[in-house]
Structure 1
Amino acid sequence: MEKYKLFGPMERGSSIYQALDVVTNELVCLRRECFLNREQGVPSSVIREISFMREMQHRNILRLLDVVNKERSVHLVTEHVEHDLRKFMDTSPEIVKTLSDFLHQILSGLDYCHSHNILHRCLNPGSLMLDHRSQSTVKIAGFGSARTFGVPADVYTKWGKEMLCLNPGDKITASEALTHPYFTIYDSGSPSPPPPPPPLPLSSLPPSSSS
């Protein structure tokens, strides 16, 4: 940890700290993951996240720079990001102007994950980070729940079971979504981004079960 100078948490109560790499003189983010049982070691979700992040190199995937092991914790050092998309949505009234660009970047990152046989499984505004320099580059983070294609995964919720009942043939991939007219119209020089595509109709979802 001597390599990093901590400045404090990004937000009150957060386990993510802003820090300075004293060797490169660059700002980084340092996330601390604690584990109480020393014998069991680092949680499998953290090991999985480290493995996936080390494998991927893409402008829309949060870059893992270093991993620091301590006696009862492990620290993940990543490139510096300012905040997540949820906070940006709450504080920026101009988000509608960047909606098309953000969506395109998210799909680009997902397409890269899928090309490496990785399913994120927990994509939400809290796992989408914004680059601190431009505030316009989206970085996908939070790979603790990710899995590789073909590996069975436990399903803990009713919604998860119902999602697995959907026919994959009725859906498009991230790669196919990138060629949707929604993006081609915007890229052709439209003065303002078009409205987002309509949401999936509720009638296409399977009926919920009471079990």
Structure 2
Amino acid sequence: MGVSEGGEILSQEFPALERYVAVESIGRGKYGKVFLATDKQTSERVAIKRLRVDPKEATLKVREAGGELRDVPASIAIEIKVLRLLNNDHVVKLLDVIYAATDIFLVFEYMKHDLCGLIHRHKFSAPEIKCYLKQILEGLHYCHLNGVMHRDIKSANLLVSGKGVLKLADFGMSTPIPETPRPLHCGVVTLWNRPPELLLGFSSYGPAVDMWSLGCVFAELLVCQSILPGKDEKQQLSWIFKMCGTPDETSWPGVSKSPVYAKFVAENGKKPRRLRKAFNNVDPRALDLLEQMLTLNPEKRITAEQALLSDYLWTEPLACAPAELPISHEACTEMRSKLDRKKQHQQPQQHQQPAKRKLERAKPSSHGSSTIATATAATAKRDEQQQLKASPSPWQRSQAPTPKPWETATLAC
């Protein structure tokens, strides 16, 4: 394989990757790096996600292409199983899985852009916003219909092809929708898009978490920036209540059972809902839909299926076709946007005194029956025990390393 950043030649270390020729590094995250490569057999561009294997992590059985079963770290196994199950025009396609001693490589179809990068490059018209939103909803509705919660919907995880087709990607935090309530981890979803039920420490939740996150993305499409940029979980909840109002037992029955609700309200007071005032220049139908997505009570939050039928998507001007979207020839991604902002931030400071630079503060980083079997009784019990052992405050729990979402899950596809 070609040379990645740092001069690393992957094919010399991993002969199984000889089929692919690397072009460049195009992304990195908590769990690994992503490389743009060319498939020598098909001449197609692909994206290869390199994941480090943790030998201490619990494993699940994954069936290889030849039919053999292999033990794979649970955090990677679930992503593989979910992606093999899902087959939709708006879900990124997993093309190949390559195993090495210390790494696993996931080979995906290559998508040139992500929505985060495009938002920083363009201000979209109403038909363009509707086109993107409709595609996200179609992909999300398909996932929920097939029993999968994504749990990390954000603009950087929504990939866009050169022809304007949008696909959900990065299923590393996804989980089966429980058929019966059971404790799940609250430390999922990128902070700025994390729903209030997780911030309040409610461990029994469902696909409504994805709809809150989508509401944050929808708002980002409308105003070209994230609207709830908290620096930690406590501040994030403060942002949410200032924008969406403070819930009570009338609007959200059971909310007072949260381990942090009473103290938080006592310290911060109750806030009125001001979402409509903040978005007073937005199309009223778009605002109606946004309000339904950013509903604090998850039981009352709109579903993906309902949102697809909303007045906003079916009134003039209608959504444009994907091919009509303004797509740059140059790749527009979150990583490139961050690099551009870093360069812009550094240039004006070149002639400033060092003392002034010390005062600069970095900007926070942005961001029905299930076809998947749910966890076994033993696994669910262990998950529940982990919740009971945790600190009463979800904010205190967040200070420790967040457990990988698949450490206690078992799936059979």
TM-score range with shorter-chain normalisation?
A: 0.7 to 0.9
The range that moved more, 112-121 or 10-19, is: 10-19
> 1:138 maps to what in 2?
166
Tell me what 2:24 maps to: 8
| Aligned counterparts of 2:40 and 2:127: Cα–Cα separation in 1 | 37
Offset at residue 15 of structure 1 (A): 1.4
Report SS of the residue matched to 1:101: helix
* Structure-2 change in CA distance of 1:83 and 1:210 (3 Å): closer
The whole-number CA distance in structure 2 between the counterparts of 1:8 and 1:114 is 34
Q: Distance in 2 between matches of 1:11 and 1:107?
A: 25
Counterpart in the other structure of 1:20: 38
Write the mapping of 1:9-48 to structure 2, written as runs, cut at 5 A.
Answer: 9-10=25-26, 15-37=33-55, 42-48=72-78
Change (3 A) 1:59 1:187: farther
> Deviation digits for residues 160-186 of structure 1, max 9, x if unmatched?
153755644412210111000001104
Q: Note the residue ranges of structure 1 that are not aligned, 5 or more in a row.
A: 191-208
Q: In 2, Cα distance between the equivalents of 1:89 and 1:188?
A: 20
- Tell me how large the CA RMSD over aligned residues is: 3.0
1:73/1:99 CA distance change after superposition, 3 Å = same
**What fraction of aligned residue pairs are identical, expressed as a percent?**
28
Matches of residues 118-197 of structure 1 in structure 2 within 5 Å?
118-131=148-161, 133-134=162-163, 136-150=164-178, 152-156=183-187, 159=196, 160-162=198-200, 164=205, 167-186=297-316
Counterpart Cα distance in 2 of 1:189 and 1:106: 13
Instruction: Name the counterpart of 1:72.
Output: 102
Aligned with 2:46: secondary structure?
strand
Of Structure 1 and Structure 2, the greater helix share is in: 2
- The letter for the 1-side match of 2:313 is F
Give 1:18's aligned amino acid: L
Count of residues in correspondence between the two structures = 192
Q: How far apart, in 2, do the equivalents of 1:27 and 1:102 lie?
A: 23
Alpha-carbon deviation of 1:71?
1.0
> Which range moves more in the overlay, 142-151 or 116-125?
142-151
The letter for the 2-side match of 1:26 is E
Deviation at 1:38, TM superposition (A): 7.3
| Structure having the larger proportion of residues in strand | 1
1:29-88 Cα deviation digits (max 9, x unpaired): 111111353786744222111110110111110110000111111111011111321111
Q: Looking at CA atoms only, which structure, 1 or 2, has the larger radius of gyration? A: 2
Counterpart Cα distance in 2 of 1:108 and 1:61:
9
Tell me the CA shift for residue 16 of structure 1: 1.1
AA of the residue aligned to 1:183: L
- Partner of 2:371 in structure 1? none
Judged with a 3 Å threshold, the aligned counterparts in structure 2 of structure 1 residues 100 and 35 are, in CA distance, closer, same or farther, namely: same
In structure 2, C-alpha distance between the alignment counterparts of 1:182 and 1:11, rounded to whole Å: 34
Q: Find 1:61's aligned residue among 73, 91, 97.
A: 91
Which residue type is aligned with residue 7 of structure 1? V
Q: Distance in 1 between matches of 2:38 and 2:149?
A: 32
Counterpart position of 2:136: 106
Query: 1: CA distance between counterparts of 2:20 and 2:114?
Result: 22
Counterpart CA distance in 1 for 2:319 and 2:173 is 38
Cα contact 1:89–1:95 (8 A) shared by 2: no
* Unmatched segments (≥5 aa) in structure 2: 1-16, 60-71, 189-194, 206-254, 256-295, 321-393, 397-413
TM-score by length of 1: 0.79
Write out per-residue CA displacement over residues 112-134 of structure 1, whole angstroms, 9 at most, x where no aligned residue. 00110101111001111111x31
| Distance 1:76-1:189 versus aligned 2 partners, 3 A rule | closer
